[in-house]
Structure 1
Amino acid sequence: MGQRANLIIVSNDTYDLYYSHWCANTLPKDLFWGPQYAIKFIEMQTKVDESGWLDDVWAEGGAVLDLDNKKLVFYGGEDILFDIPLRNLFLSLMNKTWYGWEIEWAYEGILDLASYVGYPKEKVLTGRVDDIKDLSLAPPEEKNWVNTVASVKFSDNEMLLFPLCGGIEVYLSFGPEIVNKIDKSYGYTSHSLSEWTEDFPVGGFHIDVTEKRVEFWHANNIPEISKRLVTKWFDWKVLEYYCDYESQVRSTRGLLQFHSIDRQRLLTQLRALLLKESSNPLDTLSYIVKQEAGAGRTVEINPYALRYDRYDLPRSVREEILEYAVDNL
């Protein structure tokens, strides 16, 4: 139980490493208000040595705050981690509250943070092995389960679109053999995702059989996915577009349509996210422990899980900073 994160402050060409058991989901809100507040927040967390690095399984968020170069690299959050339009607007606002700083999203998660400070990448990568026995491009049972979209160009005169569920890695890890397993009856010659689900997809991929090229984009962090896919798609061209979902619109010549972007709705969503009062996860933890003890079971708790350190700005200050950012978009 927890939302684990590594937080790093770089200063004078060295770095201090911190650990938080609870902030990965709230990290965008914790960092948004500017560097002076972010530094205070990070320094409140548990300072650890290099044994405190998380790996790509346990790290659900993290940040590098580089004082030497005025650069912030981070990822995390329950919302902006998976919603690219929401994240794009969030980062635009954050560029106003972090004026003079470079803000960068860590598309490869903990690997990006480790690489930034020169920590060996093999120590944060678990080398998970894909175990994919079979799959198809059939749509999910419910339309609102769609969170991935595929497009396949079979020839100059044939392109089909497939609404899917599961994320890009599930499908692309199968390699080129996936093309031979496609049931074309599931495909659409044109497709509007908003007709299936209200939620923006977390990823998509385009396979051009004629050019032996596979392209993909994704919202969530997937360390070294390009490197792994190059070995699967041997002698194919593999292109990663990170959060550029419009790359698939271009590749499908507009036959694939994503949701229209309502900036006002996204701003309302971000205001609610940033101004929401934080709940204390230790209350939930205490309740679970009591329930388990009442059932006669012994519970061992990670000592780090008993720390929940926050730097909460008064709501009036947060509102003022947020309105400044919105007014200067």
Structure 2
Amino acid sequence: MPEDGTHEVYEARFGAVGIDLDLLAGPDVVLPAVRARSRVEGCWRGDSQCEAAALFDLRRRILLFFASEGPVTQFRHRAVTWERIARAWPGWELRWTYDGPADLRRHLGLDPEAVRESDRKVYPAPVLEPDDEELLERDPLVTVVTIGDDRCHLLAAINDHPVVEGPAFLDRLADAPDHGHCTVAAEAGLHIDPVRRRVGWWLLSAVAEADEMAARWPGWTVECWQDRWQQHARAAPGRFLPPRVSPEQARAELREDAVHHWSQRPGSFWLGWLQAAVSDAVADRVVRTIDSW
């Protein structure tokens, strides 16, 4: 979004992988790299087709973005990745777009419905058994669901967030295994209070129609906690007990991921952009910046 208020659209195939790591390069590298690509006229990917995107508002110095995978969507790395991107973009305001590309269009004053799917179907996330191997992963694809004060269920964090299912979701969980509590680093969550008819949900990625979930729960109070998983932990004491995160370890792992992404992946779409758009000196400066963390 140039300073004159217009907007330009650029697209990269397979560009969703590592967009958070790419943004660590900062505006002096990222913006020329983006503009080195060919512009796409009148092309906006729909909700299910766009897995990551960024909007650079040059006039107001606002960076809006979201991703479906990567360190910024992982419980253990979310905070440090956000911190480091903010450090790489001094003077810019960072915003996560929980409604994906629709939020980008809203910022531009465009109709968000243009990226909606008219025949969108709900794809329920599978319920996990207590012995599922996914629960052994350091960064598992898990959604934690707590019901009232006494139930905790774990779902695979694939397909749709369970909040989109509405009250019928409770029937689906009737025979689901109760895990008692969740101690893994979940990527999303949902708390349902059947007595007060209240719902709170959060996620570290994005979901279509994020601002419209109340319509899926008629007669209920629905609150989106965005990425504030702490509110879930408070709403379900003793049920959602995520692991403590070591900032030092998370920062070291993020640095390793970034260096690998930039220097060890010749197929990375951003690496190609950097080679085409910036000089060797600038590229070297970026690497030194990472080394100085």
Question: With structure 1 as the length reference, what TM-score do the two structures score?
Answer: 0.75
CA deviation digits over 1:207-231, x for unaligned, max 9? Answer: 001110011111221021341x322
The residue that corresponds to 2:183 in the other structure is 193
**Aligned pairs for 1:1-329 within 5 A:** 9-50=1-42, 52-76=43-67, 78-131=69-122, 139=129, 142-145=132-135, 147-153=142-148, 158-167=149-158, 169=160, 171-183=162-174, 186-189=177-180, 191-194=181-184, 200-227=185-212, 229-276=213-260, 277-281=263-267, 309-312=272-275, 316-324=284-292, 326=293
CA deviation digits over 1:235-286, x for unaligned, max 9? Answer: 100111111111110001243200210212211211112112153449xxxx
Considering Cα pairs closer than 8 Å and 6+ residues apart, tell me whether 1 or 2 has the greater RCO.
2
Q: CA deviation at 1:206?
A: 0.4
Residues 139, 165 of structure 1: 8 Å contact kept: no
Residues 62, 75 of structure 1: 8 Å contact kept: yes
Say which SS state the counterpart of residue 274 (structure 2) adopts. Answer: coil
CA distance in 2, matches of 1:224, 1:19: 23
Residues 55, 125 of structure 1: 8 Å contact kept: yes
User: 2:288 is aligned with what amino acid?
Assistant: E
CA distance in 2, matches of 1:172, 1:212: 14
Q: CA deviation at 1:164?
A: 2.3
CA distance in 2, matches of 1:17, 1:183: 46
CA distance in 1, matches of 2:40, 2:94: 25
Greater Cα shift, 61-70 or 166-175: 166-175
CA distance in 1, matches of 2:125, 2:242: 24
Report percent identity of matched pairs.
19
Structure 1 unaligned regions, length at least 5: 1-8, 195-199, 283-304
Structure 2 unaligned regions, length at least 5: 136-140
Relative to 1, partners in 2 of residues 1:151 and 1:53: Cα closer, same or farther, differing over 3 Å? same
Relative to 1, partners in 2 of residues 1:63 and 1:272: Cα closer, same or farther, differing over 3 Å? same
Relative to 1, partners in 2 of residues 1:120 and 1:230: Cα closer, same or farther, differing over 3 Å? same
Residues 167, 203 of structure 1: 8 Å contact kept: no
Residues 109, 223 of structure 1: 8 Å contact kept: yes
Q: CA deviation at 1:166?
A: 3.9
Say which SS state the counterpart of residue 310 (structure 1) adopts. Answer: helix
Q: CA deviation at 1:124?
A: 1.3
Greater Cα shift, 234-243 or 11-20: 11-20
CA distance in 1, matches of 2:3, 2:26: 17
CA deviation digits over 1:131-172, x for unaligned, max 9? Answer: 56x89866366142561111001xxxx422122224583533
CA distance in 2, matches of 1:41, 1:279: 17
Aligned residue-pair number: 281
Task: Give 4+ residue runs of structure 1 displaced > 4 Å after superposition.
Answer: 134-138, 312-316
CA distance in 2, matches of 1:34, 1:10: 17
User: 2:45 is aligned with what amino acid?
Assistant: L
Question: With structure 2 as the length reference, what TM-score do the two structures score?
Answer: 0.84
The residue that corresponds to 2:138 in the other structure is none
User: 2:62 is aligned with what amino acid?
Assistant: K
Say which SS state the counterpart of residue 246 (structure 1) adopts. Answer: helix
User: 1:205 is aligned with what amino acid?
Assistant: L
Root-mean-square deviation (CA, aligned residues, Å) is: 2.9
Greater Cα shift, 63-72 or 179-188: 179-188
Q: CA deviation at 1:178?
A: 3.1
Residues 69, 205 of structure 2: 8 Å contact kept: no
CA deviation digits over 1:19-74, x for unaligned, max 9? Answer: 22232213223222221211111101121211x22221221211111111111111
CA distance in 2, matches of 1:11, 1:217: 34
